[in-house]
């Protein structure tokens, strides 16, 4: 039954992709329906009328788009049901499907870990399918065909769900490639800009290099085992060296997809150019699938984790978290900023996962379960709020046709509902209390504070440094999202487009983000719900749950023990309501003190203009000076001098260009190396047929000599 709903989720997403292909088949569809009604269902008059009405020329595209997204949404609902069911039943379900080559059936395994990620995907897909119909309406059919968008969205979701179900390396890789390639077409959807094509190519290139590395990782495991099924790989008996090699390969492959520094460069290129609901899926969900892959590979397939791996994850995670948020801070483009912030959040998840591995390898499985809990919880939270923020960015883009933060402002009055939803997202991602981001960060700190139990001196001093970096990351994230919300929604409009913006009319476009925002708040107040689910996962995967399962009541959060640390969000909420209520009631009693509205004080000079406001680059100027070494900053100020002796400044031209260090430091040398290698190889390619015949002859001689 559980597996059936999982299959339903996969099939429905696939069906939604196929249905989108029907976009140009209106005539065929009407012919089929005519035939069907004339021969089989001759009595169904109502049904026939309804279908015929929707098959009319004018209504058909609208109807089909709705239908595609309804199927996708149903797929999401089934994914949520399947995920919840398998998590609550604590069971493991296996199956075989005779697809593919005759002697290689697909092995299916649906356990707690898959179920948890099913839940994440399901929620995200539900939100996206509520949001989608309104959003895709702006695309012109002849420029950006819906058939392509719908098909690849369906395939993309199918691929992600299949990755989670896979129980052998073949099926895993096929599903993985389906996910990668489908998302490549989605990134390249608006391919009329050369920048988009370039981003899509970069994405495909890195996805394939990553996939290659994953295949090699599986290959190392497979060479020590009897087959390619995960069961066989689990039994593989590897020496520490080979296990570490497999780990590094898997880390490279999955890390490339997840966007770990320094292999994150495709993220800020690809996410901004995809349609917003696709960026939401890519950033919120696909990165989590990569995380799933890493967890499956390390904790499940490799089994015996080494503490050194944990250190590697911890260091890479810290670098990604700090690097991601510092780059995000400098971005004026909203979607690029969100993409960099995904790098940060993935970094945090990797950090905590590293802690979990360290505790596991040092024989503290309960603390490992705590770290694992924090990592998965943060993955869940990040899926919620990053989806929310990307969908919000989509609404803003839809209404203002701008993505540059410096061109917005004052949208809180024009788009009141969107602004509230976006504010919830910003507060969650800045990890403020009462919202979900705070809970996972709190758990991460609690994990790091357990360092006292370790014996290794290096680890004992390394982990506090990582905790310090986590604290810095959180504070910088708050600064970053104050900038985002403040510049987009507050102040005065900085451009005509944002001046004319208004709230979206499509209720679905608000319902999707509202669902996510509601969940962000609900999980922030009642985190026990999700923690209970994750505890089942860690019980299955690590063999250990949190020390005191019973203390995890709905009111209290006490992961280690009630004496060590506890947090009760509902009580905090009640306290906050009481405090705010009392002072509101006390201060608003007197009718004399009604608010008077007046012009803003302009120091008597008159005429405050929107251009006098702080912009993205001025807001982040102190950070730019303090962390100057982090970026490659190209700042140019040119003054137009005029008047006698060139003493008056007419106009000032200011240019700021900020670049990632990883391009010139890492990628350009690689690209140059490949180029020069290709040139060397090119030398033997003379273009002369006689030379080539000579090569063939020489090769033949050589081979004859070898076999003789």
Task: Write the interaction track for another protein spanning residues 597-636; mark x where CB under 8 A is met and - where it is not.
Answer: xxxxxx-----x-x-xxx---xxxxxx-xx----------
Q: Which of 98, 587, 670, 706 is the binder for another protein (CB under 8 A)?
A: 587
Per the listing, tokens 């990620």 go with 117
Q: From 75-83, 275-283, 457-465, 679-687, give the range in contact with another protein by CB under 8 A.
A: 457-465
What's the min distance (Å) between Cβ of 615 and another protein?
Answer: 8
What's the min distance (Å) between Cβ of 280 and another protein?
Answer: 24
What's the min distance (Å) between Cβ of 416 and another protein?
Answer: 8
Q: From 102-110, 178-186, 581-589, 696-704, give the range in contact with another protein by CB under 8 A.
A: 581-589
Residue 260 · residue 345 · CB < 8 Å: no
Q: Which of 575, 650, 664, 682 is the binder for another protein (CB under 8 A)?
A: 575
Query: Measured from the CB atom, is 250 or 469 closer to another protein?
Result: 469
Question: Per CB under 8 A, does 413 bind another protein?
Answer: yes
Question: Per CB under 8 A, does 595 bind another protein?
Answer: yes
Question: Per CB under 8 A, does 564 bind another protein?
Answer: yes
What's the min distance (Å) between Cβ of 196 and another protein?
Answer: 32
Scanning residues 491 to 520, which ones bind another protein (CB under 8 A)?
A: 491-492
Question: Per CB under 8 A, does 458 bind another protein?
Answer: no
Tokens encoding 498: 């944002």
What's the min distance (Å) between Cβ of 343 and another protein?
Answer: 18
Query: Measured from the CB atom, is 593 or 655 closer to another protein?
Result: 593
For residue 275, give the nearest of 383, 194, 185 by alpha carbon: 185
CB atoms within 10 A of CB 664: 11
Element (H, E) at 642: strand 632-642
What's the min distance (Å) between Cβ of 428 and another protein?
Answer: 12
For residue 249, give the nearest of 222, 219, 291, 229 by alpha carbon: 219
Question: Per CB under 8 A, does 478 bind another protein?
Answer: yes
For residue 383, give the nearest of 289, 294, 285, 290 by alpha carbon: 285
What's the min distance (Å) between Cβ of 473 and another protein?
Answer: 9
What's the min distance (Å) between Cβ of 588 and another protein?
Answer: 8
Torsion sign, CA atoms 235, 240, 245, 250: positive
Dihedral of CA atoms 341, 345, 350, 352 in degrees, nearest 10, equals 150
Query: Measured from the CB atom, is 121 or 444 closer to another protein?
Result: 444
Query: Measured from the CB atom, is 183 or 399 closer to another protein?
Result: 399
Residue 653 · residue 683 · CB < 8 Å: no
Question: Per CB under 8 A, does 201 bind another protein?
Answer: no
What's the min distance (Å) between Cβ of 197 and another protein?
Answer: 37
Q: How far apart are CA 124 and CA 281, in angstroms?
A: 7
Q: How far apart are CA 316 and CA 260, in angstroms?
A: 7
Question: Per CB under 8 A, does 551 bind another protein?
Answer: no
Per the listing, tokens 């590979």 go with 297
Question: Per CB under 8 A, does 431 bind another protein?
Answer: yes
Q: What φ, ψ does residue 454 adopt, rounded to 5°?
A: -80, 155
Tokens encoding 552: 């995890």
Question: Per CB under 8 A, does 449 bind another protein?
Answer: yes
What's the min distance (Å) between Cβ of 659 and another protein?
Answer: 22
Q: How many residues does the chain have?
A: 708
Number of shown-chain residues binding another protein (CB under 8 A):
84
Torsion sign, CA atoms 380, 386, 387, 388: positive
Query: Measured from the CB atom, is 155 or 322 closer to another protein?
Result: 322
Encode burial over 6-42: b for 16+ CB neighbours within 10 A, e otherwise: bbbbbebbbbbbebbebbeeeeeebeebeeebeeeee
Q: What is the DSSP letter of 554?
A: S
Tokens encoding 235: 């039994």
What's the min distance (Å) between Cβ of 258 and another protein?
Answer: 25
Q: What is the DSSP letter of 358?
A: H
Residues ≥6 apart with Cβ < 8 Å to 188: 196, 197, 200
Question: Per CB under 8 A, does 445 bind another protein?
Answer: yes
Question: Per CB under 8 A, does 467 bind another protein?
Answer: yes
Q: Which of 108, 286, 476, 517 is the binder for another protein (CB under 8 A)?
A: 476
Question: Per CB under 8 A, does 592 bind another protein?
Answer: yes
What's the min distance (Å) between Cβ of 553 and another protein?
Answer: 12
Bridge partner list, 95? 108
What's the min distance (Å) between Cβ of 42 and another protein?
Answer: 60
Question: Per CB under 8 A, does 572 bind another protein?
Answer: yes
For residue 69, give Cα distances in angstroms to 59, 394, 490, 613: 16, 17, 33, 41
Q: Which of 583, 641, 671, 701 is the binder for another protein (CB under 8 A)?
A: 583
Query: Measured from the CB atom, is 224 or 556 closer to another protein?
Result: 556
**H helices of 401-527, where?**
411-414, 416-429, 436-448, 457-489, 496-499, 507-525
Pairing of strands 106-110, 648-659: unpaired
Question: Per CB under 8 A, does 550 bind another protein?
Answer: no
Pairing of strands 632-642, 93-97: unpaired
What's the min distance (Å) between Cβ of 390 and another protein?
Answer: 21
For residue 122, give the nearest of 536, 702, 638, 519 by alpha carbon: 519
Question: Per CB under 8 A, does 438 bind another protein?
Answer: yes
Question: Per CB under 8 A, does 451 bind another protein?
Answer: yes
Q: From 26-34, 254-262, 302-310, 440-448, give the range in contact with another protein by CB under 8 A.
A: 440-448
CB atoms within 10 A of CB 262: 17
Task: Classify residue 407 by burial, with Cβ atoms within 10 Å: 0-12, 13-18, 19+.
Answer: buried
Question: Per CB under 8 A, does 562 bind another protein?
Answer: yes
Query: Measured from the CB atom, is 225 or 430 closer to another protein?
Result: 430
């Amino acid at each position: 039954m559980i597996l059936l709903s999982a299959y339903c989720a996969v099939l429905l997403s696939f069906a939604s992709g196929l249905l989108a292909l029907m976009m140009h088949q209106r005539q065929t569809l009407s012919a089929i329906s005519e035939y069907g009604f004339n021969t089989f269902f001759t009595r169904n008059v109502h049904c026939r009328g309804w279908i015929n009405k929707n098959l009319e020329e004018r209504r058909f595209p609208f109807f089909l788009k709705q239908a595609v997204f309804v199927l996708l949404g149903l797929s999401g609902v089934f994914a949520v049901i399947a995920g919840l069911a398998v998590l609550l039943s604590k069971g493991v379900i296996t199956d075989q499907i005779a697809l593919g080559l005759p002697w290689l059936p697909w092995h299916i395994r649906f356990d707690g870990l898959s179920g948890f990620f099913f839940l994440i995907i399901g929620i995200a897909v539900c939100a996206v399918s509520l949001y989608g119909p309104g959003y895709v309406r702006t695309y012109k059919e002849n420029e950006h065909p819906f058939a392509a968008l719908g098909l690849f969205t369906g395939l993309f979701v199918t691929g992600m769900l299949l990755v989670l179900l896979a129980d052998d390396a073949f099926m895993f890789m096929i599903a993985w490639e389906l996910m990668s390639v489908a998302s490549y077409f989605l990134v390249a959807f608006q391919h009329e800009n050369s920048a988009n094509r370039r981003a899509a190519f970069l994405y495909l290139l890195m996805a394939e290099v990553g996939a290659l590395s994953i295949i090699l990782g599986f290959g190392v495991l497979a060479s020590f085992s009897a087959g390619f099924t995960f069961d066989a790989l689990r039994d593989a008996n590897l020496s520490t060296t080979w296990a570490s090699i497999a780990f590094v390969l898997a880390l490279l492959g999955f890390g490339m997809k997840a966007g770990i520094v320094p292999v994150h460069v495709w993220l800020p290129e690809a996410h901004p150019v995809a349609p917003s609901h696709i960026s939401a899926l890519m950033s919120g969900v696909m990165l989590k699938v990569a995380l799933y892959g890493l967890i499956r590979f390390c904790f499940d397939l490799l089994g015996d984790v080494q503490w050194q791996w944990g250190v590697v994850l911890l260091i890479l995670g810290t670098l990604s978290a700090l690097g991601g948020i510092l780059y995000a801070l400098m971005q004026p483009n909203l979607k690029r900023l969100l993409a960099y912030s995904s790098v940060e959040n993935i970094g945090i998840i990797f950090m905590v996962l590293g802690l979990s591995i360290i505790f596991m390898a040092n024989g503290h499985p309960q603390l490992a379960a705590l770290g694992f809990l924090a990592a998965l919880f943060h993955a869940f939270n990040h899926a919620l709020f990053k989806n929310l923020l990307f969908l919000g960015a989509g609404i803003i883009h839809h209404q203002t046709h701008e993505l540059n933060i410096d061109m917005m402002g004052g949208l809180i009055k024009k788009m009141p509902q969107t602004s509230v939803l976006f504010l919830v997202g910003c507060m969650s991602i800045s990890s403020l209390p009462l919202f979900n981001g705070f809970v996972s960060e709190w758990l991460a700190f609690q994990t790091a504070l357990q360092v006292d139990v370790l014996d290794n001196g290096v680890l004992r001093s390394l982990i506090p440094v990582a905790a310090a970096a986590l604290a810095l990351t959180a504070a910088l994230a708050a600064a970053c999202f104050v900038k985002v919300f403040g510049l987009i929604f507050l102040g005065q409009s900085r451009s005509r487009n944002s001046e004319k913006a208004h709230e979206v009319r499509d209720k679905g476009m608000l319902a999707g983000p509202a669902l996510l925002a509601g969940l962000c708040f609900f999980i922030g107040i009642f985190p026990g719900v999700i923690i209970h689910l994750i505890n089942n996962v860690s019980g299955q995967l690590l063999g250990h749950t949190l020390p005191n399962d019973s203390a995890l009541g709905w009111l209290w959060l006490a992961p280690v023990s009630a004496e060590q640390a506890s947090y009760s969000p509902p009580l905090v909420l009640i306290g906050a309501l009481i405090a705010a209520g009392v002072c509101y009631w006390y201060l608003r009693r007197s009718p004399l003190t009604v608010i008077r509205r007046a012009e803003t004080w302009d120091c008597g000079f008159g005429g405050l203009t929107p251009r006098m406001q702080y912009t993205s680059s001025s807001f982040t100027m102190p950070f730019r000076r303090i962390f100057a070494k982090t970026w490659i900053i190209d700042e140019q100020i040119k003054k137009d001098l005029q008047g006698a002796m060139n003493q008056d400044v007419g106009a000032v031209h200011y240019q700021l260009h900020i670049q990632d260090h990883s391009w010139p430091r890492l990628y350009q040398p690689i690209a140059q190396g490949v180029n020069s290698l290709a040139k060397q190889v090119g030398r033997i390619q003379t273009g002369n047929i006689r030379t080539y015949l000579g090569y063939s002859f020489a090769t033949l001689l050589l081979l004859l000599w070898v076999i003789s």
